Structure 1
Amino acid sequence: MYPLKFKPILKERLWGGKKLKEVFGKASISETTGESWELSTVQGDISVIANGDLADNSLQELIEKYPNELLGKSVVDRFGKEFPILIKFIDAKQDLSIQLHPNDQLAKERHNSFGKTEMWYIMDADPGAELIVGFNKDVTKSEYAKSLESDSLLDLLNYEKVKEGDTFFINTGKIHAIGAGVLLAEIQQTSDVTYRVFDFNRRDKDGNLRELHTDLALDAIDYKKKDDFKVDYSKESNAINSMVQCPYFKTNFLNLTQSMVQDTLKRDSFTIFMCVDGEAKIENDFGQVIVNKGETTLLPASSKKIKINTTGVKLLEVTI
């Protein structure tokens, strides 16, 4: 099974823009494309293979036929025949809504879903662009509820200026929002459960306010001020630099100026590469693929060796 590329699933969003087309060359015909889902088995949005002999088969079909070969036995033992993570690129022309995600237990009880732990890698940011991550002080549930009633929630939130290369880990329960002017790569658990708590009183194209999930969010929020979200990682050239190691995914940063070979015989997990800058030819025992900035490839767990041929590329390497 060779390195697989997939047809991007483009999502129109009230807050989206044109960078996914202009910067990455995604096939958008809209001026409000907010997301490119690169790898997904979310119901209704299942990725379809774009290259090679397996083209036009879905990722889910491949998992059903070759679970251990594609995912890895240890991954199948944990998650069954479900792809455990969702990979996206996001373009925020406007501020996203302020939101949070429930943990696994709440998500299972309420939505028969996984929770949503995620991470962001900033690929580009307009001058002054920022994120909202967590609270600026410890708050109580009643203080939070009162801030919604008085339209003063923004006064309780923590704002972070961002630049290219900044990385953030967003655990479940943490209130957050992507700010206007940010283009990023997102790695998350396979889940589309989001609790929206404030949307700047915006209206959609039909003049309607978007749904809020005020009551659901109350018991899902972490009300403590925590400085646990900014990821401090090495950017050493031609090395495997660890970024995030959590129960749901592991992400490394590869800043390569020359080719690299990895022995993956004992990895027992698929490998994803998100190209966040430059270009590389990535190959395993069965084939090769070229990835450019804003593209993603999936290599099966059966890959015994992975070779990255490049003179300049920055990659996010994701495994389980």
Structure 2
Amino acid sequence: MKNILYPIKFTPILKDKIWGGQKLKTLLNKTSDLPNIGESWEISDVEGDTSVVANGALKGQTLKQIQETYKEDLIGLQNYRVFGNKFPLLIKFIDAKQDLSIQLHPNDELAAKRHNSFGKTEMWYVMQADEGSNLIVGFNQKMDAETYLSHLENKTLTEILNFDKVKVGDTYFIEVGRVHAIGAGVVVAEIQQTSDITYRVYDWDRVDDEGNERELHNDLAIDAIDFEMEDNFRVSYEKAKNQSNKMVSCPYFTTSYLDVDSTLKKENNHDSFLIYMCVEGEAQITTDSGTETIKKGETILLPAAVKNYEITSENAKLLEVYV
């Protein structure tokens, strides 16, 4: 059974969003007629949005089907013991033409109790940023519930939020309970737990085409905000060529940065699948079953049973992810 597994690509699931734009088409070559493409779900096992294989012998099968078939050969033995037939990560590219809502995500305990879901720890890698664009992460001062609620009620929430100007390569680790938003003009690669649970606390008073405001979740959010968090969300990392440079390592995922301009012989020593997101250039990934090309804006899943492989490129920047 192992030898059928190969580097797997999936058909992107594109999401129309009130704040979305066209950069996922123009920069990342996604194909869609949607007017405001906000997100491309690259690998997803979210209920109702399960990825479908786009290449090779498994083409047309869903991620859920192949996980049920290949189990630990697909995701690793320990991962299979923990997650069973639920794929643990949701992988996205996001284009914010307008500011996203101010939001946060619940932890595992709250998400399980309220939504029968995982929590939503995530990270962002900035792929493109217009001049002067921002990410909103955390508060710009020590914060408590009383002060926060006062600003929320008076519509002065932005006065207490931390705005960071960003450039390509900037990386942020967004833990559960941290207030955040992607600002207008930014394209990010996002790696997160498999969860679609978001608590929206402020949406800039905007309305949709029919004049309706989007739902806010302030009653749920107040219990989920962690007011004690340190300002440790900016990720510093090495950028040494032709090796994996660790960026983020947490209980839910480990992500490294690869700047490849030769051929790397790689061995998967992790009891896990590997995911590669191409954030610049293109690369070839070669295994015993053949070679797959991955271009900017594409994502590939390397099953856990594939232990030895090569990455070849003249100009690729990749994010490498495992659990």
Q: Same fold (TM over 0.5)?
A: yes
Match of 2:200 in 1: 196
* Superposed counterparts of 1:38-57, under 5 Å: 38-57=42-61
Find out whether 1:312 has 2:315 as its counterpart: yes
2:235 paired residue among 227, 231, 244: 231
Contact conserved, 1:141 with 1:218, CA < 8 A, in 2?
yes
Match of 1:127 among 125, 131, 135: 131
- Deviation at residue 252 of structure 1 after TM alignment: 0.5
8 Å contact from structure 1 (residues 251, 316) kept in 2: yes
Match of 1:24 in 2: 28
Helix, strand or coil for the counterpart of 2:151? helix
Matches of 1:253 and 1:288, distance apart in 2: 21
Match of 2:292 among 285, 289, 292: 289
Structure 2: gaps spanning 5 or more residues: none
**How far off its partner does 1:307 sit?**
0.7
Counterpart among 248, 257, 262 of residue 244 in structure 1: 248
In 2: Cα distance, 1:298 partner to 1:34 partner: 23
Q: Which of 245, 257, 260 is residue 261 of structure 2 equivalent to?
A: 257
- Cα deviation, 1:118-173, whole Å, max 9, x if unaligned, reads 00000000000000000111121111111111111110100100000000000000
Letter in 1 for 2:60: D
Which residue is equivalent to 1:280?
283
| Aligned-partner Cα distance in 2 for 1:307–1:276 | 18
| Structure 1 gap ranges (5+) | none
Task: State the match for 2:164 in structure 1.
Answer: 160
Q: 1:73 aligns with which of 63, 68, 77?
A: 77
Residue 30 of structure 1 deviates from its aligned partner by 2.4
Deviation at 1:225, TM superposition (A): 5.7
Is the aligned partner of 1:35 residue 2:39? yes
Partner of 1:114: 118
Partners of 2:104 and 2:180 within 8 A in 1: yes
Q: Secondary structure at the match of 1:311?
A: coil
Deviation of 1:288 after TM superposition, in Å, equals 2.1
**Identical pairs, percent:** 55
State the aligned residue count.
Answer: 319
1:136-151 superposed matches below 5 A: 136-151=140-155
Distance 2:158 2:228 in 1: 16
Provide the TM-score with structure 1 as the length reference. 0.98
Larger mean Cα displacement after TM superposition, 35-44 or 302-311: 302-311
d(CA) in 1 for partners of 2:257 and 2:303?
19
Task: In structure 1, give the amino acid aligned to 2:175.
Answer: N
Instruction: Tell me the amino acid that sits aligned with residue 232 of structure 1.
Output: S
> 164, 178, 183: which is aligned to 1:179?
183
Whole-angstrom distance in 2 between the partners of 1:50 and 1:82? 20
Q: d(CA) in 2 for partners of 1:210 and 1:94?
A: 15
